[in-house]
Amino acid sequence: MKRIQLPIRNNWQQQHQDIGFDYYNLPSEDGSIYWSEGIAYEFTLKQIEHLEDAANELHQMCLHIVKHMIQSGDYPAYFQIPSAALSTIEQSWKQQAAMLYGRFDFAYDGHNIKMLEYNADTPTGLLEASVAQWRWLEQVEQIKHRDQFNSIHEDLIARWKTLYPNAAHIHFAACYEAGREDWGNLEYLMDTAYQAGLNVSEMSIENIGWDGRNFVDLNNHTIAHLFKLYPWEWLWEEKFAQYLPATTQWIEPCWKMLLSNKAILIELWKHFPRHPLLVATYPFNQQQHYQGKWVKKPILAREGANIQIFENNQNLGAASGSFYFADYAKSGHVMQQWIETPLYQGMLPTLGLWMIGDECSGLSIREDRYQVIGNDAHFAAHYFIE
């Protein structure tokens, strides 16, 4: 794996605007912007195949854990799952409610792959991973015999077609105050559903209503299918939570609460000890002595929030690149062993492997100068050569 500097495309900003990627220039802490034009990571075909196989294997391992938990009825306390959610989790699994997508985050040094976490409920970065970096590949010059691990767009459209009959109506919702990145990802997913022959409409989570029998939109139309870019653990705190077992089909299904919770990392290590794709992870215990370097992570958090570094049982404080969000401090924590990965021209990359349904469909990269890939880290394109 190499980090390559390449010529900047003419009119590249307009290229992003044309596809709705209008948050490409969100400011980053280091003074630059979100999209790194003129930077790309180069892989070999063998490396890409290794990454793809790893994501597919890990996904099946995760499904094995979910199946075991639901069939046994054993939900470890460190998951902190609301009791009201358990029946809906189990019902959605037994009804084989299908997933749409998810994203693994990997640490990678060009040889060894380590799973950091699974963003299985509300991953963002999808528009830039699919359309924006593919356009970059088509337009960039001076790279011969190049390709990209990226069938995300086509696979999303195909996935929608397998999930719903033609002309079915899907509502898409996010928090009203969410940033442009969230709404940009939501609108991109709406577009893929529309291209799959579905009818779509957009609304905010705050405008979901209840008519006594069904969830409804502002026009009092029943919400039969709802894609929500809004975490399940937050839904169970809403005033309408008592009605969540209603007939609305939620995307992602409720059983994915088990995958999007970082406590799944504990279960993976327990069921597959010393697996080469996994990192040692345990429930945080203040009485435990942690020899070596460890990362303390909230079980429910996103964008690198509330992450602390421990070394030889000493709390070194917040990881650089992390930020504090009070809502994420309400739940428990896991301790994950530190993975030392090399810097590439002073930047630390984290690889995102995108699952569409049960198959890996593409790769994206976020990089930063800090210990954690946080909310304002940079997006870098990739390609591979044979």
Residues 191 and 298 in one domain: no
Mean pLDDT of 257-272: 98
Q: Give residue 29's pLDDT band: very low, low, confident or very high (50, 70, 90).
A: confident
- Taking 90 as the threshold, does the pLDDT of residue 176 lie above it? yes
Residues 201 and 290 in one domain: no
- Taking 90 as the threshold, does the pLDDT of residue 122 lie above it? yes
Structural domain span for residue 201:
2-261+343-385
Residues 320 and 222 in one domain: no
Q: Strands 359-368 and 348-356, how do they pair?
A: antiparallel
pLDDT in tens, 349-364: 999 999 999 999 999 9
Quote the CA–CA distance of 244 and 320 in Å, as a whole number.
Answer: 38
Q: Would you state the pLDDT for residue 293?
A: 96
pLDDT in tens, 267-323: 999 999 999 999 999 999 988 999 999 999 999 987 888 899 999 999 999 888 888
Q: Would you state the pLDDT for residue 133?
A: 97
- Taking 90 as the threshold, does the pLDDT of residue 250 lie above it? yes
Residues 308 and 376 in one domain: no
Residues 248 and 295 in one domain: no
Mean pLDDT of 30-35: 92
CB burial class (10 A; 0-12, 13-18, 19+) of residue 122?
buried
Residues 51 and 147 in one domain: yes
pTM value surpassing 0.85: yes
Would you state the structure tokens that stand for residue 93, as one six-digit string? 């699994």
- Angle at CA of residue 152, ends 178 and 186, nearest 5°: 20
3-state secondary structure the chain: CEEEECCCCCCHHHHHHHCCCCCCCCECCCCCECEEEEEEEEEEHHHHHHHHHHHHHHHHHHHHHHHHHHHHCCCCHHHCCCHHHHHHHHHHHHCCCCCCEEEEEEEECCCCEEEEEEECCCCCCHHHHHHHHHHHHHHCCCCCCEECCECHHHHHHHHHHHHCCCCCEEEEEECCCCCHHHHHHHHHHHHHHHHCCCEEEEEEHHHCEECCCCEECCCCCECCEEEEECCHHHHCCCHHHHHCCCCCEEECCHHHHHHHCCHHHHHHHHHCCCCCCCCCEEECCCCCCCCCEEEEEECCCCCCECCEEEECCEEEEECCCCECCHHHHHCCEEEEECCCCCCECCEEEEEEEEEECCEEEEEEEEEECCCCCCCCCEEEEEEEEC
- How many distinct structural domains can be found in the chain? 2
Would you state the structure tokens that stand for residue 115, as one six-digit string? 């799973």
Residues 198 and 286 in one domain: no
Q: Strands 225-229 and 169-174, how do they pair?
A: parallel
Q: What percent of the chain has pLDDT over 90?
A: 88
pLDDT in tens, 192-203: 999 999 999 999
Residues 120 and 243 in one domain: yes
Residues 156 and 291 in one domain: no
Residues 13 and 98 in one domain: yes
**Measured CA distances, 366 to 70, 216, 382 (Å):** 34, 37, 11
pLDDT in tens, 124-156: 999 999 999 999 999 998 888 889 999 999 999
Q: Would you state the pLDDT for residue 246?
A: 83
34 close to 13: Cβ distance less than 8 angstroms: no
Residues 282 and 352 in one domain: no
Q: Give residue 171's pLDDT band: very low, low, confident or very high (50, 70, 90).
A: very high
Residues 325 and 187 in one domain: no
Quote the CA–CA distance of 278 and 64 in Å, as a whole number.
Answer: 15
